[in-house]
Each structure stands twice: as structure tokens, then as C-alpha cells.
């Protein structure tokens, strides 16, 4: 059975993240015949009728995926709000912008759901955190990977700091692993392939077995062996480095949330 959207669907802004979600849904076979996308660049979204301006939209959407940059929210809100009603489910992937801030701009909307996905949704292997709404569209997001429904926006932000930003941090680690291989004399393309496959293989093994990361590390590292020598260096700094990294992402999310509040004197920029 072909997966269906809940009705007329508008995708407002289709950049990297929203585009990855669309790609994941298309990969899963979702029917986009009732969908429209707005892209100021005018570049078409493959498989979806694309308009350049929101003002060209007509009717009342059942589902709106709000994917503009947080800094653009107040540019699109007045026009978009006119098209929403109590039957509209507004889904926002705007980092840091709270439900109360969205409700203040879109009082006509029925449900407002905040979603924090990550880029692997394009492959159906993403992590999608949600909060708000009655869960009616959770199955749609389940097509994109693992769905984590949170009870609070604080928990949503925590998942976003970890899973949303995580692919960038994992990519940096893979690149650093490959660079170390080049420093040992490997050709760059060989080091890149080895680093990537090592991470993919470790993740696949852990996923299949349910084994903890700590257990895998112990199993790989023989006492007084080469791996243990490396871990003694890595373990001195890694936990604190990652903690500071996630904390920085979290602080920026809090700044965006504050800037988006209607009574805030700060700018979203």
C-alpha cells in the first residue's frame, strides 16, 4: 500500500533538512500528488509542484512542513497564517523556535508539532524527535527512521543537540580518523574508505548485537596492546570534548528560542 500524506501538504522552505525529509519519504514511496513546495530560489523540488512565492498558494492545507530558516520566520508567518485553520497540522523543523512562539504567529492552526530530524532521514535511517500534537502523523515520520516522542521541548532540544547535530560530529571524527591514516602513509582515498567502513561496520555490529560501546571497546582492546595504547590518549579528552561540543549546540538553541519569543527584544539573526 502506498504511504499517503494526510491531505493537501505544503512544504514551506525546502533546504537541506526539509529536502532530506522529502527524499526519505520519496524513498519510502510516499505519494506527493497533493503536495506543493515553496522555494524562493525557484529551483524545483523533484517530484513536487514548486512555487517561488507563498503568495501564489491557494486553499487550506491539511499539513504544513515549515522548513525556513528561523531568521525568515517573521517574513513568511503573516502570509502563511491566513491559509491555516483548525484542521491544519503545522510541523516545524525550525531549531530552537518553541511551540508558544509558533502559536503566537499561527493562532489559527489546529495542531502544532515540533520535529527535530537529522540528515540520515534521506536514507530512512534518521532519528526524528517530536513533541506536540496528538501523534496522528507519527507514522509518517516513522518512515524516515527512529521516532522519539518527547514529553517536553527541553527533551526535544536535548535530542536535537545529540542526534540533529550528531552527523556533523561523526563526519568530523571519520575525517580525523582518515587523516591519521594518511599521516601513517596511506593514500587519501584508501584512508577515507577504511575510516568510513570502520565506523559503518562498528555501528552495524552494535545495532545487530545490542552490545554497548564500552563492551565493544573492551573486546577490541587487548591489555597492553596497540588499541589500549591509543585509548589511553583518546579517553583523556574525548568525553569532555564531546560534552563541550554538545553544550555549545544546546546554548545556540536556547539563544534561538529566546530570540523567537514575541516579547523578546533580541533578533533571530
Question: Tell me: the pLDDT tens digits for 109-159?
Answer: 999 999 999 999 999 999 999 999 999 999 999 999 999 999 999 999 999
CA nearest neighbour of 131 among 117, 161, 151: 151
Q: Is the pLDDT of residue 263 over 60?
A: yes
Helix (H) or strand (E) holding 18: helix 16-27
- CA 168 to CA 118: how far, in whole Å? 10
Q: Is the pLDDT of residue 269 over 80?
A: no
Distances (CA, A) of 167 to 120, 121, 137, 164, 173: 8, 11, 25, 7, 10
Contact call for residues 131 and 142 (beta carbons, < 8 A): no
What pLDDT score does 266 carry?
A: 53
CATH topology of domain 9-150: Rossmann fold (3.40.50)
Where in the chain are all domains bearing CATH 3.40.50.720?
9-150
Q: Residues of the chain with pLDDT > 90: what percent?
A: 93
What pLDDT score does 120 carry?
A: 98
Concatenating the DSSP letter of every residue in 47-102 gives TBEEES-GGG--S--SEEEE-S-GGGHHHHHHHHHTT--TT-EEEE--TT--HHHH
Q: pLDDT averaged over the chain?
A: 95
What pLDDT score does 2 carry?
A: 85
Q: What is the CATH number of domain 166-255?
A: 1.10.3730.10
- CA 110 to CA 133: how far, in whole Å? 9
CB contact set of 58 (below 8 Å; sequence gap of 6+): none
Where in the chain are all domains bearing CATH 1.10.3730.10?
166-255
Q: What share of the chain is helix, strand, coil (3-state, %, to 5)?
A: 50, 15, 35
pLDDT in tens, 165-219: 999 999 999 999 999 999 999 999 999 999 999 999 999 999 999 999 999 999 9
Q: Is the pLDDT of residue 265 over 60?
A: no
CB contact set of 210 (below 8 Å; sequence gap of 6+): none
Amino acid at each position: 500500500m502506498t504511504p499517503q500524506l494526510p491531505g493537501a501538504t505544503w512544504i514551506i522552505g525546502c533546504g537541506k533538512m526539509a529536502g532530506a525529509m522529502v527524499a526519505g519519504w520519496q524513498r519510502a514511496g510516499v505519494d506527493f500528488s497533493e503536495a506543493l513546495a515553496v522555494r524562493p530560489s525557484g529551483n524545483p523540488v523533484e517530484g513536487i509542484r514548486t512555487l517561488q512565492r507563498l503568495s501564489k498558494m491557494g486553499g487550506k492545507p491539511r499539513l504544513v512542513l515549515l522548513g525556513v530558516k528561523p531568521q525568515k520566520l517573521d517574513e513568511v508567518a503573516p502570509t502563511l497564517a491566513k491559509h491555516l485553520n483548525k484542521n491544519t497540522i503545522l510541523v516545524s523543523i525550525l531549531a530552537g523556535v518553541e511551540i508558544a512562539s509558533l502559536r503566537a504567529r499561527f493562532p489559527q492552526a489546529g495542531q502544532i508539532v515540533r520535529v527535530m530530524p537529522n540528515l540520515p532521514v534521506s536514507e530512512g535511517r534518521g532519528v526524528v524527535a517530536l513533541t506536540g500534537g496528538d501523534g496522528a502523523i507519527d507514522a509518517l515520520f516513522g518512515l524516515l527512521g527512529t521516532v522519539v516522542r518527547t514529553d517536553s521541548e527541553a527533551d526535544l532540544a536535548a535530542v536535537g543537540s545529540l542526534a540533529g547535530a550528531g552527523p556533523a560530529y561523526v563526519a568530523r571524527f571519520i575525517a580525523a580518523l582518515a587523516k591519521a591514516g594518511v599521516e601513517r602513509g596511506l593514500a587519501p582515498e584508501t584512508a577515507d574508505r577504511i575510516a568510513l567502513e570502520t565506523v559503518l561496520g562498528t555501528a552495524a555490529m552494535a545495532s545487530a548485537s545490542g552490545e554497548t560501546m564500552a563492551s565493544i571497546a573492551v573486546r577490541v582492546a587487548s591489555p597492553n596492546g596497540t588499541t589500549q595504547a591509543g585509548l589511553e590518549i583518546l579517553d583523556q579528552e574525548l568525553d569532555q570534548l564531546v560534552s563541550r561540543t554538545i553544550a555549545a549546540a544546546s546554548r545556540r538553541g536556547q539563544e534561538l528560542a529566546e530570540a523567537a519569543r514575541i516579547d523578546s527584544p533580541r533578533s533571530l539573526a
